[in-house]
């Protein structure tokens, strides 16, 4: 039975408390504010990066598009707010509908609202933005003016497609080579359809292709075309080939024919080559891939009919795929299925597994038997060399992730299929061995340039396997590097906080509030020019090297507000067989706006008026409406300011600092 998205009520007490246990002294707030009647310091307005954005590997301007959804930041006159939010979101990540569904959301772990009650549902709002953009057929930012330069992008996964998008915005020609029949990489071939609907994926990929990206499918570099020909045809080469080879179990017997890797298992499934599993399946891992393998195995189930006799009626296609997916097999075959016994083992305790917590809980509910704190010792073999089970033992894991067997805890699990989902590495065979390391990766410098190969660049899992959103972030950064290489511009040092920052000057230009032209001969005495119109006064941008901590916010301003949850469509162990529909339903407009309003706008003014209301000198004033925009809603009259720092103390977002005069 499904639950509806709603304001969830809870008896949970606030995690932020002004008074702690054993605090006996009761003090008045004014005692901590009025430390002196005046000081030499005056307030200045400081923009810093919020921790959600600082935690996002793609560097999205999360605070920015949340402010748009909530109605705090207004769009230009020719845009509706939904499209404006979409454009702000896709400035960093062209896949909001996909990532809103599957990203494990490190942004939410970093959210300062966790110190009040619960994080902002960033993923849920991002999915809303992505879905409404597909519904309304919004386009990405247009391609830039043609530069005449061409870039070969080897790999059509998240890193390669992200780079193609950013390079087209800069005006460079892009050709994506991929050895699969369709683009998407791990988004298509590594994640099942019930987590990423194929129509959603196709819609977001097609927007990038529509920018003028050329595509060459079923083409493997080194086999179908050699790298020397690529170098002759293109001005730069980006390696975004991903990690498509899984690691085998490092135990005796793992070479058995019915021991496979999680990468191979999921690719066969996602190409509709796998329609059932044996009766007893063991998955070794603990991360997201292992959860996907175990959950898919439960959905496929065990069939009494030989798989080579199965008639597959479900057909995937570039426009979105079958709505019934793998359920649409021959009726007799489906009727002969029964649930497979699926066991997942992890070195870590269940509560410490690296997979997303909600995915772990879904798998348990769907009937996956999870063994935490367990390590494989040996694959048990029959006389023909096939795996019949896995010898296990309970274990502890040290700080480096190295397990130690607990003596006397050995046990065996019977299995017909063993799947190793313990890591991945690149496939640089067939003539590409010289470019990679012995471990199957490609080494890069700080600008994602391939070491020792001029004009070659690299991004994504082939550097080191990580999240999809990390690969997307690589694509954006390497696009900047490639642009500077093609335009023969010096590579600038990347900022300490390497994300897509809010730019006040750009916002002023967008709202026709740009500073006037500075004419030196007309400026006169430059002392005391705080009212001059040719500069942005009383503002400092520290976003490139500072992230706002919760200790710098006035958390007491925020009331307890429960998170607006997406509708969960749980699947029980009895219902899971053949169930390939989505398990969540996105927020509607009202729900998305309600959730966006929970954002505390860390590091940026959100018009609460605290500084205006509490200033005893009336020195802090609201900017006249015709001159106001995001980041410029208040100003200080320094002829009245006495430096009492009340405005700084009551600023909920940490935007006001008593620094002017230091």
Domains of the chain, earliest start first:
29-138+502-519+531-660 (no CATH), 150-244+426-486 (3.50.50.60), 252-302+338-421 (3.50.50.60)
Neighbour tally for 52: CB within 10 Å: 28
pLDDT reported for residue 330: 43
* Ranges of the chain with pLDDT below 50: 1-11, 33-35, 306-332
pLDDT reported for residue 359: 92
Return d(Cα 105, Cα 97) in angstroms, integer.
14
pLDDT reported for residue 332: 47
Q: Kind and range of the H or E element at 636?
A: strand 634-636
Q: Please calculate the CA angle 64-76-61 and round it to the nearest 5 degrees.
A: 15
Of 362, 369, 412, 366, the C-alpha closest to 387 is 412
Q: Which residues pair with 424 in a beta bridge?
A: 246
Of 324, 273, 277, the C-alpha closest to 302 is 277
Of 448, 512, 517, 452, the C-alpha closest to 483 is 448
Return d(Cα 300, Cα 278) in angstroms, integer.
10
Return d(Cα 217, Cα 33) in angstroms, integer.
65
Positive or negative torsion for Cα 64, 68, 72, 75: positive
Q: CA 618, 622, 627, 628: dihedral to nearest 10 degrees?
A: 150
Phi, psi of 469 (to 5 degrees): -65, -25
| 136 CB burial (10 A radius; 0-12, 13-18, 19+) | exposed
Return d(Cα 64, Cα 631) in angstroms, integer.
11
Q: Do residues 486 and 457 lie in contact, with contact meaning Cβ atoms separated by under 8 Å?
A: no
Phi, psi of 592 (to 5 degrees): -65, -40
CA distances from 339 to 267, 278, 296, 419 (A): 21, 10, 11, 17
Locus of tokens 């490092």: 250
Side-chain-side CA neighbours of residue 254 (13 Å): 19
pTM for this predicted structure: 0.88
Return d(Cα 496, Cα 21) in angstroms, integer.
38
| 374 CB burial (10 A radius; 0-12, 13-18, 19+) | buried
DSSP string, 306-320: -GGG--B-----TTS
Residues with Cβ < 8 Å from 135, sequence gap 6 or more? none
Return d(Cα 96, Cα 89) in angstroms, integer.
7
Q: Do residues 42 and 661 lie in contact, with contact meaning Cβ atoms separated by under 8 Å?
A: yes
The encoded tokens of residue 511 equal: 């709202």
Work out the end-to-end distance of the chain between its first and last CA atoms, rounded to an integer number of angstroms: 61
């Amino acid at each position: 039975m499904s639950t509806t998205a709603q304001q969830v009520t809870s008896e949970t007490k606030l995690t932020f408390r002004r008074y702690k246990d054993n605090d006996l002294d009761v003090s008045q707030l004014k005692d901590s504010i009025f430390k002196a009647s005046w000081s030499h310091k005056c307030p200045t307005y400081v923009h810093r990066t919020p921790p959600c954005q600082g935690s996002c590997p793609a560097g999205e301007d999360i605070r920015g598009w949340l402010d748009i959804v909530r109605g705090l930041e207004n769009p230009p006159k020719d845009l509706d707010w939904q499209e404006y939010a979409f454009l702000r979101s896709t400035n960093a990540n062209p896949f909001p509908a996909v990532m809103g569904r599957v990203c494990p959301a490190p942004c939410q772990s970093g959210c300062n609202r966790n110190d009040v009650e619960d994080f902002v549902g960033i993923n849920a709002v991002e999915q809303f933005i992505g879905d409404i953009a597909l519904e309304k057929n919004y386009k990405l930012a247009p391609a830039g003016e043609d530069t005449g330069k061409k870039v070969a992008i080897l790999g059509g996964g998240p890193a390669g497609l992200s780079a193609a998008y950013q390079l087209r915005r800069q005006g460079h020609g892009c050709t994506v080579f991929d050895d699969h029949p369709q683009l998407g990489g791990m988004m298509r071939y590594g994640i099942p359809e019930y987590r990423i609907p194929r129509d959603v994926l196709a819609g977001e990929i097609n927007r990038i292709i529509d920018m003028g990206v050329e595509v060459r499918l079923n083409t493997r570099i080194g086999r179908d075309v050699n790298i020397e020909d690529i170098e002759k045809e293109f001005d730069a080469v980006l390696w975004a080939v991903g990690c498509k080879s899984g690691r085998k179990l490092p135990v005796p017997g793992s070479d058995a024919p019915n021991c496979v890797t999680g990468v191979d298992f999921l690719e066969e499934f996602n190409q509709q080559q796998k329609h059932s599993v044996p009766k007893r399946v063991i998955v070794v891992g603990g991360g997201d891939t292992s959860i996907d393998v175990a959950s898919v195995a439960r959905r496929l189930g065990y069939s009494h009919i030989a798989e080579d006799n199965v008639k597959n009626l479900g057909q995937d296609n570039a426009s979105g795929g079958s709505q019934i997916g793998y359920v649409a097999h021959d009726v007799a075959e489906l009727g002969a299925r029964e649930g497979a016994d699926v066991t997942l083992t992890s070195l870590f305790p269940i509560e410490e597994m690296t997979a997303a917590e909600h995915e772990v809980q879904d798998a348990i509910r769907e009937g996956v038997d999870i063994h935490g704190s367990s390590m494989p010792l040996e694959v048990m073999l029959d006389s023909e060399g096939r795996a019949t089970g896995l010898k296990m033992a309970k274990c502890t894991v040290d700080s480096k992730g190295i397990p130690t067997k607990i003596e006397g805890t050995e046990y065996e699990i019977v299995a017909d299929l063993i799947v190793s989902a313990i890591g991945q590495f690149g496939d640089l065979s067939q003539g590409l061995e010289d470019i990679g390391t012995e471990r199957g990766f490609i080494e890069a410098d700080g600008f994602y340039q391939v070491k020792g190969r001029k004009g070659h660049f690299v991004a994504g899992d082939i550097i080191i396997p990580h999240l999809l959103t990390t690969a997307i972030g690589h694509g954006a950064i390497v696009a900047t590097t490639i642009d500077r290489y093609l335009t023969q511009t010096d590579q600038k040092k990347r900022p300490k906080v390497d994300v897509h920052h809010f730019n006040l000057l750009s916002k002023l230009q967008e709202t026709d509030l740009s500073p006037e032209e500075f004419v030196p001969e007309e400026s006169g005495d430059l002392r005391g020019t705080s009212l001059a119109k040719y500069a942005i006064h009383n503002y400092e941008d520290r976003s490139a090297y500072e992230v706002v901590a919760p200790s710098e916010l006035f958390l007491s301003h925020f009331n307890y507000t429960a998170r607006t949850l997406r509708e969960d469509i749980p699947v029980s162990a009895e219902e899971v067989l053949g169930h390939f529909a989505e398990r969540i339903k996105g927020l509607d407009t009202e729900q998305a706006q309600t959730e966006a309003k929970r954002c505390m706008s860390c590091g940026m003014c959100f018009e609460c008026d605290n500084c205006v209301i509490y200033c005893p000198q009336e020195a802090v004033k609201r900017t006249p409406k015709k001159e106001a925009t995001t980041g410029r809603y208040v100003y200080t009259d320094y002829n009245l300011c006495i430096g009492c720092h009340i405005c700084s103390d009551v600023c909920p977002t940490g935007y006001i600092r008593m620094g002017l005069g230091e």
